[in-house]
Amino acid sequence: MTNRQKILIVDDDPNIAELISLYLTKECYECMVVGNGEDAVKAAGEFEPNLMLLDLMLPGMDGYQVCREIRSSSNLPIIMMSAKGEVFDKVLGLELGADDYIIKPFDTKELIARVKAVLRRYQPAPSASAAAKPKGKYVEYPDLVINLTNYSVEYKGKPVEMPPKELELLYFLASSPNQVFTREQLLDHIWGYEYIGDTRTVDVHVKRLREKLGEHPSWAISTVWGIGYKFEVRN
């Protein structure tokens, strides 16, 4: 029997939280509900969820602080939920490490679709022995292997943890070396045409990729000023 995937719902409105839990339980997810940031951080370790639905406006430790705390030690997928629809709030959430951002009030079907999309893309990085010989859909450069089949990245022989969207963006760029893509093209391909976002979302993810991969003499994610980005392969 396959274990059900676990969803941690963090919202201080018990009515909203229980409604979300009801719908996700019908989709065969195992749900846990907590109402504040401190309990969310604790539950993330004890409940060991596959994904966290995180409201921003929480008593005490708010959603941004929770996300920052989780990201300091875990790659747990996080979907932020908020009535704040300003671009600044979205970008800040993504910059702190959220995988997606949904604005309240939302349609339950949309929330479920986003949950399924994030979970479908996310898989833990394989062990070093399993990653020794890449299989499936992958690209390889000196010191770098990006595997889209099992959503893993290996840099200098060690696994690098990154959320699904970061990995997909890296894979897409690296699959077309030296080809320039506009921010709009990247947003459309990685997040989908239906994604209501801002092109700065791309900038945030590129910044995080650069922080994780650093500088390499053979390749780099280069900015093409006034246009967008490319995966530059150097001779």
Same domain, yes or no: 19 and 104: yes
Which of 88, 121, 154 finishes a domain? 121
Instruction: Print pLDDT tens along the chain (235 aa).
Output: 356 899 999 999 999 999 999 999 999 899 999 999 999 999 999 999 999 999 998 988 999 999 989 988 888 899 999 887 677 777 888 888 888 888 888 888 889 988 988 887 765 544 444 445 555 688 999 999 999 888 899 998 899 988 888 999 999 999 988 999 998 888 888 877 555 567 788 899 999 999 999 889 999 999 998 889 999 987 6
Do the domain assignments include residue 11? yes
The CATH number of the domain where 51 resides is what? 3.40.50.2300
Angle 166-33-90 from CA coordinates, rounded to 5°? 35
Do the domain assignments include residue 72? yes
Which of 86, 102, 121 finishes a domain? 121
Same domain, yes or no: 58 and 112: yes
Task: Domain of residue 22: give its range.
Answer: 6-121
Same domain, yes or no: 75 and 94: yes
Nearest to 104, CA basis, from 41, 165, 57 = 57
Same domain, yes or no: 210 and 161: yes
Do the domain assignments include residue 19? yes
The CATH number of the domain where 158 resides is what? 1.10.10.10
8 Å CB contact between 150 and 123? yes
Do the domain assignments include residue 138? yes
Do the domain assignments include residue 225? yes
Same domain, yes or no: 165 and 205: yes
Q: How far is CA 225 from each of CA 54, 150, 177, 181, 210, rounded to the nearest angstrom?
A: 35, 33, 17, 11, 17
Burial of 113-128, coded b for 16+ CB within 10 Å and e otherwise, reads ebbeebbebbeebbee
pLDDT value of position 127: 45
Same domain, yes or no: 213 and 175: yes
Do the domain assignments include residue 174? yes
pLDDT value of position 230: 93
The total number of structural domains in the chain stands at: 2
Which of 121, 152, 167 finishes a domain? 121
Same domain, yes or no: 10 and 92: yes
Same domain, yes or no: 15 and 102: yes
Nearest to 89, CA basis, from 111, 108, 62 = 62
Q: Is the pTM of this model over 0.75?
A: no
Same domain, yes or no: 10 and 116: yes
8 Å CB contact between 118 and 102? no
Same domain, yes or no: 10 and 113: yes
Do the domain assignments include residue 1? no
